Amino acid sequence: MNSRKGELTLSKVKIQFNGNPKAPLAGADVSLLSRENAEKVRAFHRTIDAYEPTPLARLQHLAQDFGLGEVLVKDESYRFGLNAFKVLGGSYAVAEILAHKLGKDISEVSCEYLRSQEARNAVGDLTFASTTDGNHGRGLAWAAEQFNQKAIIYMPKGSDPVRRDNIRAHGAECTISDLNYDDCVRMAWEKAQQNGWITVQDTAWKGYEEIPNYIMQGYTTLALEALEQMQAMGVDRPTHVLLQAGVGCFAGSMLGFFMSVFGENAPTFIIVEPEAANCFYVSAVANDGTPHAVEGDLATLMAGLACGEPNLTSWEMLRDYPVAYASCQDSVAANGMRILGAPLPGDPQVVSGESGAATTGFLQWVMQQDEAEEARERLGLDASSKVLCISTEGDTSPRTYRDVVWFGRRNL
Ligand SMILES: Cc1ncc(COP(=O)(O)O)c(C=O)c1O
């Protein structure tokens, strides 16, 4: 084991401890993700016919096996029948955009109203554009379809055609480009600027923050549900929240919510990334207060996490508050898929895709590898820990899911 400057380099995982952690609420502002805002977001989501809270799986036997108090896994494969959490962000952002155009507050509009001829006539023809690894684009296409508007979606090279077809099934135009994710985002932005389309991108950069912030707020519905569900099970608060990050919009959203709710008693946050796209890990290693990008093909099994540039709004939260950043080989996520897909007797099954299972895979690794002993001690993971993981997607690439779960595939 190589331990220097807070870095643990182990066989399948590298962990960087935060070199400059801030006490809860003493660093970046998290008020955007407050419980009050989350209640407002959920009130809108509740007006959508397909809305139903997704299950929170309580894996008691797994927790025992891992030597933990609780392992709770929020199962986003059930979200709106779309197999991933992402639609929460796209639908909320589009609703906010429409509400603004109508001169109304989000609390004054319902999904039904935004779908109505009256609202449609008032806002006119709109085109929403975005880049996606699959899940965000599917959610945005779904939202555009709901509100009788158009969506144009681009995907990075190597994207699974099944994911493209799922987007097209909602009436959107969707093409797989020959660019990596971050270059594809830039290309889509330029096209949108040239054509007067509205970019609904799940990452922020300087000058483009409002819509990504709505997307982050949109995700808080799931955090609010998880909080209520765990409290109904008698778990007052999680001690640890493991969050997978691509651009970090999702992780920032969850972190901001739980920190707003629990303040000084906020849980320990751990960020989990694929080794090939570990921009938060690399930024934590540099520890100079600025985000660092990862370039190249970003080739990882965890397609949803294959993003090389941190989202600027969540960057500050993800710089200040997590205790550690784990950079994981693909096989870690593959193990997570198998563990959730073939549960211990008595535990519920969670069908979890590559990006969804990354955190459970990491949890297994850190709890059960001999070489991870120092890591678990420093992370404070023990029999009193109540760990929340979020399985952010189901088998969004069914072929990959079967290759991993049935045939033991371990990497791209
Ligand atoms: C299934 C899944 N999980 C997690 C993420 C990570 O979200 P973010 O890019 O906001 O970090 C994504 C992003 O597309 C995803 O599709």
Question: What is the CATH classification number for the domain harbouring 196?
Answer: 3.40.50.1100
End-to-end, the C-alpha distance of the chain in Å comes to 26
Q: Is the pLDDT of residue 16 over 50?
A: yes
410 inside domain: no
Question: Is 140's C-beta closer than 6 angstroms to any atom of ligand 1?
Answer: no
User: Do 324 and 339 belong together in one domain?
Assistant: yes
Question: What is residue 236's three-state secondary structure?
Answer: coil
Annotated active-site residue 133? The verdict is yes
Q: What is the dihedral of CA 73, 77, 81, 82, to 10 degrees?
A: 130
Structure tokens of 155?
């995907």
User: Do 351 and 312 belong together in one domain?
Assistant: yes
User: Do 307 and 343 belong together in one domain?
Assistant: yes
User: Do 336 and 258 belong together in one domain?
Assistant: yes
Of 14, 74, 133, 320, catalytic: 133
Quick one: pLDDT at residue 8?
A: 83
Quick one: pLDDT at residue 1?
A: 41
What is the tens place of the pLDDT at every residue in 24-53?
999 999 999 999 999 999 999 999 999 999
Locus of tokens 């960020």: 271
Q: Which residue did the predictor score with more confidence, 3 or 9? A: 9
Residue that finishes a domain, picked among 201, 228, 261: 201
Residue nearest to atom 15 of ligand 1 (CA): 304
Angle between the N-to-C axes of helices 161-168 and 135-146, in degrees from 0 to 180, rounded to the nearest 10 = 10
DSSP state for residue 323 in the 8-state scheme? S
205 by Cβ neighbours in 10 Å (0-12 / 13-18 / 19+) ranks as middle
Whole-number Å distance between alpha carbons of 148 and 127: 10
pLDDT band of residue 5 (cuts 50, 70, 90) is low
User: Do 246 and 386 belong together in one domain?
Assistant: yes
Residue that finishes a domain, picked among 150, 168, 201: 201
Question: Is 215's C-beta closer than 6 angstroms to any atom of ligand 1?
Answer: no
Using the mean position of ligand 1's atoms as its centre, give its distance from the Cα of residue 305 in Å: 6
User: Do 282 and 159 belong together in one domain?
Assistant: no
Q: Mean pLDDT of all residues in the chain?
A: 96
Question: What is residue 289's three-state secondary structure?
Answer: coil
User: Do 221 and 278 belong together in one domain?
Assistant: yes
State whether the Cα torsion 127-131-133-139 is positive or negative.
negative
Decide if 54 contacts 78 (C-beta within 8 A). Answer: yes
Using the mean position of ligand 1's atoms as its centre, give its distance from the Cα of residue 339 in Å: 20
User: Do 58 and 98 belong together in one domain?
Assistant: no
User: Do 128 and 264 belong together in one domain?
Assistant: no
Find the domain containing 245 and state its range: 2-85+212-405
Using the mean position of ligand 1's atoms as its centre, give its distance from the Cα of residue 302 in Å: 9
User: Do 79 and 92 belong together in one domain?
Assistant: no
79 inside domain: yes
411 inside domain: no
Structure tokens of 17?
């401890």
User: Do 91 and 70 belong together in one domain?
Assistant: no
**Structural domain count, the chain:** 2
Question: What is residue 232's three-state secondary structure?
Answer: helix
pTM of the full predicted structure? 0.96
332 inside domain: yes
261 inside domain: yes
What is the tens place of the pLDDT at every residue in 99-121?
999 999 999 999 999 999 999 99
What is the tens place of the pLDDT at every residue in 274-288?
999 999 999 999 999
Q: Is the pLDDT of residue 344 over 90?
A: yes
65 inside domain: yes
Structure tokens of 121?
């006539």
